[in-house]
Amino acid sequence: MKKSKYYLIIILALTMVMISACGSNDDDNEGSSDSGDDSSASGEQVLNMVETAEIPTGDPALATDAASFIVFGQTMEGLYVLDGDDQPVPAIADGDPEVSDDGLVYTFKLKEDAKWSNGDPVTAHDFVYAWQRALNPDTGSQYAYMFSGVIENATDIMNGEADVEELGAEAVDDNTLEVTLEQPVEYLNSLLAFGTYLPLNEDFVEEKGDSFGTNSDNMLANGPFVLTEWDGSGLTWTYAKNEEYYDMDNVSLDEVNVQVVKEPSTAVNLYETGEVDRTAALSSEYAKQYANHEDAATFEEGSSWYLKFNQERDGEETPLANENIRKALAMAFDKESFTEQVLANGSIPTDGYVPRGLAVNPETGEDFREESGDLIGYDLEQAKEYWETGLDELGVDELALDFLGDDTENAKRIGEYFKNQLETNLDGLTISLENVPFKNRLDRTTAQDYDIVMHGWGPDYLDPLTFLDLYVTDGANNQASISNEEYDQLIEDAKVTYANDPAKRWQAMLDAEKILVQEDTAIAPVYQRGRLTLIKPYVQGLEEHLFGPDYSLKNVTIEK
């Protein structure tokens, strides 16, 4: 799935694989995989791929980034998974649930032949355990809020005000899971396909302890593939066909070899020489070059990318706590030029936060992005006015800010663009670029050790709330000390107060986005990402997703 579909990202954290998306001259990047031709000749179904970011974690409760959720999308299944049209369909659930008349109690029957890769059955208890574990404050799950306002008592448990056993999820028996909601949730099925809602084998997790999810030996799969050959920090890993998977007969691939390649030139060379069958998203230079290539595949993602302004660092307010400084920065760069000249991969400039194509007005059918409109754009004259006002309020003539980014070639190029635009357009501003490995960037963003980061976020379910819920006060993924009481109330209204009133709920979300972007300018929208990849024509059946994992490999076949 995604997710992230923010990265989770002045420090600029931009990866070309989403946090939130996720994005070397390391020897491991030079290509160690066998070619697809060799595997085909032997009759094996082997796929060789490139990614641009390491795997930060193999623990679904701790993951917040696209790279990790891509792995879960291949190796694990929840009650639902996404089909090729991004619709949630039953997976471990044996068909649709029984629902009580009030829409609050869901009773799921589980597939009796679903197993973990060690042969243990997948049971209702595995879901209860995983959900309780994610909500336990001791686990430190940044995605625990995904249960809040959805499953009964989840919020109190997350806040340490109730025991995990009070969660509204019960294993009636091994194959029956009863889930009680706080209120009806119209996007529940897509939420249940999300990574934090995946089951976990309690005996295995408890046996591994702190080592769980740290490498492939300390992970267990219940999906089409098993992760192997991942040492927890390396730049290569393998997906092997899961022989215990209940639908194993419909999985063609025997093996998928993945290597992390941060230099676009290296990735393209590996593709051209036949050492890999699919690249990750191409950087602008190669996206332009291969735009009309017969192997080019384009996809408009549901991910939103924006500058996130950190308002507190090391316990002290930063200059970015000043609203006028934030507005100046948000208006001082040409996002149309950026998407056309720097990205050149089908990404579109946007003046709003929630991406187009995600959700429509329940009464009129109008897309959220279209209805919300353009909230803040490139306006150099206005930016200069905000800048001078902000400097006066701070009592300074100049500012020095950090701009954090990944250590990929593309992220470095993007950082240079923003440094040039902002320093040129705002007198007295100095931008320092810092480029670090993807995992380090995530750690620094979480610790709020940055000034500005370009953050990418992909939807976790099909609703605007999957974006807007991030920036409530003290939210786990806030990571910028963003706080507005009116905004918090609107999000609470959308989640709880108007749960049964679609029209009022929709308006609350429209109002919330306006506060976040236009009034407070806590974030500065930049673009909705598109991606252009190269994929061999003999690779058939790859499914790309608007939300959740970027893609699914279950139905891929090698047809030469």
> pLDDT (tens digit, 9 = 90+) per residue, 242-255?
999 999 999 999 99
Give all domains of the chain, ordered by start, each with its CATH number: 27-73+226-299+554-558 (3.40.190.10), 76-209 (3.90.76.10), 301-530 (3.10.105.10)
Six-digit token pair at 16? 């070309």
CA 321/CA 327 separation, integer angstroms: 11
CB of 54 closer than 8 Å to CB of 533: no
Six-digit token pair at 362? 């329940």
Query: pTM of the full predicted structure?
Result: 0.76
Q: CB under 8 Å to 160, separation ≥6 — which residues? A: 137
Rounded mean pLDDT of 358-369?
A: 95
CA 452/CA 273 separation, integer angstroms: 39
Q: Mean pLDDT for the chain? A: 91
CA 472/CA 412 separation, integer angstroms: 31
Q: Is the pLDDT of residue 23 over 60?
A: no
Please write the tens of the pLDDT for every residue from 40-75. Answer: 445 689 999 999 999 999 999 999 888 999 999 999
Q: Is the pLDDT of residue 372 over 50?
A: yes
Neighbours of 209 (CB within 10 A): 8
Rounded mean pLDDT of 436-444?
A: 92
Rounded mean pLDDT of 82-108?
A: 95
Confidence of residue 157 (pLDDT cuts 50, 70, 90): very high
Rounded mean pLDDT of 308-318?
A: 97
- DSSP of 461-497, one letter per residue? SSSTHHHHGGGSTT-TTT-S----HHHHHHHHIIIII
What is the chain's percent helix, strand, coil content, to nearest 5? 35, 20, 45
Predicted pLDDT of residue 546: 86
Diameter of the chain measured on Cα atoms: 71
User: To 5 degrees, how large is the angle CA 75–CA 557–CA 90?
Assistant: 45
CA 513/CA 243 separation, integer angstroms: 46
Rounded mean pLDDT of 157-179?
A: 97
CA 148/CA 128 separation, integer angstroms: 15
CA 6/CA 306 separation, integer angstroms: 9
CA 219/CA 60 separation, integer angstroms: 10
| Highest-scoring range by mean pLDDT, 27-31, 185-189, 277-281 | 277-281
CA 3/CA 41 separation, integer angstroms: 37
Pairing outcome for strands 176-180 and 169-173: antiparallel
Rounded mean pLDDT of 331-342?
A: 95
Percent of the chain with pLDDT over 70: 92
In angstroms, the Cα distances linking 270 to 259, 277, 469, 539 are 11, 9, 40, 16
Q: Is the pLDDT of residue 124 over 70?
A: yes
Percent of the chain with pLDDT over 90: 81
Pairing outcome for strands 452-457 and 399-406: parallel
Q: Minimum mean pLDDT among 3-7, 207-211, 374-378, 421-425: which range?
A: 3-7
Rounded mean pLDDT of 129-156?
A: 95
Q: Minimum mean pLDDT among 103-107, 341-345, 378-382: which range?
A: 341-345
Q: Is the pLDDT of residue 272 over 50?
A: yes
* Burial of 253 (C-beta count, 10 Å sphere; 0-12/13-18/19+): buried
Q: Is the pLDDT of residue 548 over 90?
A: no
DSSP state of 285: H
Q: Is the pLDDT of residue 496 over 90?
A: no
Predicted pLDDT of residue 499: 85
Rounded mean pLDDT of 446-466?
A: 93
Six-digit token pair at 304? 């939103």
Predicted pLDDT of residue 16: 33
Confidence of residue 4 (pLDDT cuts 50, 70, 90): very low
User: To 5 degrees, how large is the angle CA 315–CA 321–CA 326?
Assistant: 145
Q: CB under 8 Å to 275, separation ≥6 — which residues? A: 31, 33, 34, 35, 48
Q: Is the pLDDT of residue 25 over 80?
A: no
